[in-house]
Structure 1
Amino acid sequence: MKKASIGLIALLLALSGCGNKPAEEGAPSPNALTQTEDGATLPAASVMPEQTSGDSFVFEANGIAIPMHAEATPILKQLGTPQSYFESQACAFPGLNKIYQYSSFDVYAYEKDGIDYIASVILFDDTVATKEGVTLFNKKSDVIKAYGDKFTNNLNLYVYDQGKSQLRFVIENDQVTSIEYLAKI
């Protein structure tokens, strides 16, 4: 029940910025190639400009990097079959919202121009952690030690901004109760 509640809250937060956004001009052609920071050459369509900057938060599960705004299909193939899948009409992004539920986290994707991109990742238990080692049930001081004190705080929501992403922690009674990676709209 708690997992469903956290997922619903995160979905509502992700969708709170409803509105139509015009298509971006100057998007790379589907046949263009882009070189990533690690030297790999990928089709430009699979690497959003936000991803190439290297300054956004990236969740990693079983050695699989999940950057915000990255093309979802190759990542989802690496993650394997989800435990469940749900989709609905998007409000913040054109197309569909897609939710892929795995054992310890959910991956949310948005559709743009027929391609799915990573919108957010929500962690559900302490078997997964951020790259800096923060898990659910850590103390607030652990979060500040790992990420510093440059956050915004609204009630119990601590938000760190980096590039085109956010890392959000809900901290109640000095304990991390929710961790979410979010692609900024």
Structure 2
Amino acid sequence: MKKASIGLIALLMLLSGCGNKPTEEGAASPSALSQTEGAATSPAASTPASETPEQASDDGFVFEANGISIPMHAKAAPILDKLGKPQSYFESQACAFPGLNKIYQYSSFDVYAYEKDGVDYIASVILFDDTVTTKEGVTLFNKKSDVIKAYGDKFTNNLNLYVYDQGKSQLRFVIENDQVTSIEYLAKI
């Protein structure tokens, strides 16, 4: 229920003012679409067309799933091939730049990609349950003190959003009532 609520909020934020179209292959149902969206505005929508995608490197936060590293700004195709077929796929016309926002939903996380010059790059990874963790062992439903113990106290805080910056990425935690309710890896422009 919480995942669907967060997804619905993000879906409204992502699609306000833009049209969208599910793809024919793996077209997502309305319920899958609301679950496919993440807790924050689509990071792909924040990447302007004039920016060149940064080279993926070790100087940012990297999500790891089943031994597969997913750095922000990395070319998406090789990573998506390793991850295998997603449970669902959704795309929409990007509001902020020419191209498409692409969302690949796996069992415990979503991978967002942005399109630049015909190539897809990793824009964000959003975790949805406590079966996946950050490399430092933080998972949904951990306490705020667990996040600070793992990442330190050098974060920015806006309402309940705690943001850690590292290199070309951010790691974002929504913490409500002393409990982590959302974790998102985000490519910085």
2:131 maps to which residue? 127
Give the Cα–Cα distance (whole angstroms) in 1 for the partners of residues 46 and 72 of structure 2.
Answer: 17
1:60 maps onto 2:64 in alignment: yes
Which consecutive unaligned segments of at least 5 residues does structure 1 have?
Answer: 25-47
TM-fit CA distance, 1:21: 3.6
Give the equivalent residue in structure 2 for 1:4: 4
Q: Write the distance in 2 (CA, Å) between the matches of 1:171 and 1:138.
A: 9
TM-score under structure 2 length normalisation: 0.78
Q: Deviations over 1:103-140 (max 9, x none)?
A: 00000000001000000000000000000000000000
Higher RCO structure (Cα 8 Å, ≥6 apart) = 2
* d(CA) in 2 for partners of 1:157, 1:11: 10
Which runs of at least 4 in structure 1 moved beyond 3 Å after TM superposition? 15-18
TM normalised by structure 1 equals: 0.80
Aligned counterpart in structure 2 of residue 83 of structure 1, from 72, 87, 96: 87
Q: Distance in 2 between matches of 1:86 and 1:156?
A: 28
Q: Which residue of 2 aligns with 1:110?
A: 114
Matched AA of 1:22 = S
Measured in 1, the distance between the counterparts of 2:154 and 2:97 equals: 28
Question: What amino acid is the match of 2:167?
Answer: G
Rg (Cα) greater in structure: 1
Whole-angstrom CA distance in 1 between matches of 2:4 and 2:96: 21
Q: Is the contact made by 2:101 and 2:114 (CA closer than 8 Å) also made in structure 1?
A: yes
SS in 1 for 2:114: strand
Quote the Cα distance in structure 2 between the aligned partners of 1:62 and 1:105.
Answer: 12
Aligned equivalent of 1:51: 56
Q: Which amino acid aligns with 1:106?
A: D
Partner-residue secondary structure (3-state), 1:142: helix
Contact 1:50 1:56 (8 Å CA) reproduced: no
Does residue 170 (structure 1) correspond to residue 174 (structure 2)? The answer is yes
CA distance in 2, matches of 1:102, 1:64: 13
Task: Assess, with a 3 A threshold, how the Cα gap between structure 1 residues 110 and 139 changes in structure 2: closer, same or farther.
Answer: same
Q: One-letter code of the match for 1:131?
A: K
Cα distance in 2, alignment partners of residues 175 and 143 from structure 1: 10
Q: 2:50 aligns with which of 7, 22, 26?
A: 22
- Cα deviation code 1:136-162 (max 9, x no counterpart): 000000000000000000000000011
Q: CA RMSD in A?
A: 1.8
Among residues 137, 155, 158, which one is paired with 1:151 in the alignment?
A: 155
User: What secondary structure does 1:130 align onto?
Assistant: coil
Contact 1:166–1:183 (Cα < 8 Å) also in 2: yes
Report if the CA contact (8 A) 1:136-1:178 is conserved: yes
Identity, in percent, stands at: 81
After superposition, the C-alpha distances for 1:31-62 in whole angstroms (9 at most, x for unaligned) are: xxxxxxxxxxxxxxxxx64423x210000000
Q: Distance in 2 between matches of 1:89 and 1:100?
A: 15
1:31 maps to: none
